Amino acid sequence: MMDFSVVIPIYNGAKRLPGVLEKLRSQTGTEEIQWEILVVDNNSSDETAKVVRELQSTWNLQVPLKYVFERRQGLTFARTRGIEETEGQFVAFLDDDNLPNSDWVLQAYLFGNQYPKAGIYGGQIHALYQTEPPENFKRIEHLVLAIRESGEQAFQFNPELLQLPSGAGLVLRRKALLESSNPECIAAVSRGDNDYELSLYLYQNGWEIWYNPAMHLNHLIPPERLEKSYLLSLAYRYGLYTFGCRVILAKTWGQKFLLFFRVMFGGLKRVILHFAKYKKQVQSDLVNACELNFFWASAISPIYYYINKISFQK
């Protein structure tokens, strides 16, 4: 078995992929680590396959650079395929806009061995903006762009409060997934738009969720990801996940019932307080508008959750 696997799901990212692979090619301190890289081509229509073949022909590392084509489009299928096709004791997910530091693999591997109960963990994610972000944007960059800079001390996240690692650069202990008795935990690994689910199910099964400050990566943010419509939609979508994530840890129907109203009225309270505090700035200021979208979506997330659940069962 490999010690460490890096899985890169990619869709039409031929232009970005070389940058990620060059960062992985330049990893240091990994001489004693058996690791591999797998590019999962998620039904791309660009030259992703050609780019990988060209890189493989000049790949002068002992680290295997593998490629697999996944026709079923969606991060759901790409991540699952990546886990199936790799052998690492730890499986790390990088996107094509994630640029890890030169010791990222080493620090990820050492941390996993140092904390044997860590089922999943993430590190520091720094924004690499290609255009200047709006004023006060730092207030919400963790919310809409999964930027995380939480200091230089390792700590356990608090899943009970939905304090969890972001998806970029997430590292999963394969043993934690394989030993899970909950089928929802297996399914959650592939739900690419909500990485919190997997962390919550692993926590529910007795695993710890950690922050590793020694893992650094830069998240490339192109101008289009700072457009108002895009950011508002992200804030709204993430807000809709609130109840679905919180309910995972509810053990009884009574707890779920109380949680339904706690999340709903808690979200409505935040909407009212936000309006009272910012008034006219709520719609004119991007940061305030994103926060309002998140609070409102959180308030209706219990209804959203059960409507989706009924629709799925049908």
Query: pLDDT tens-digit profile of 272-286?
Result: 999 999 887 887 899
The Cα–Cα gap between 32 and 149 comes to: 29
Look at residue 184 in the predicted model and tell me its pLDDT.
Answer: 55
Instruction: Give me the half-sphere count of Cα atoms (radius 13 Å) on the Cβ side of residue 310.
Output: 6
Distance of alpha carbon 16 from alpha carbon 96, whole angstroms = 6
Query: Among the CATH numbers 3.90.1280.10, 3.30.1390.10, 3.90.550.10, 3.40.140.10, which is that of 4-226?
Result: 3.90.550.10
Tell me the CA distances in angstroms from 211 to 97, 178, 204, one per residue in order: 21, 22, 18
Strand partners, 218: 99, 126
pLDDT at res. 180: 72
- What letter does residue 49 receive in the DSSP assignment? H
What residue ranges do the domains of the chain occupy? 4-226, 228-313
Q: What is the pLDDT of residue 192?
A: 42
Which residues are within 8 A (CB) of 158 and not within 5 positions of it... i.e. 6 or more apart? Answer: none
182 pLDDT exceeds 80? no
Query: What is the per-residue pLDDT across 144-178, written as a single tens digit (0 to 9) for each?
Result: 998 999 999 999 999 999 999 988 999 999 999 88
Give, as one character, the DSSP assignment of residue 133: P
| Residue 114, both tokens | 């140092």
Position 312 confidence tier, pLDDT thresholds 50, 70, 90: low
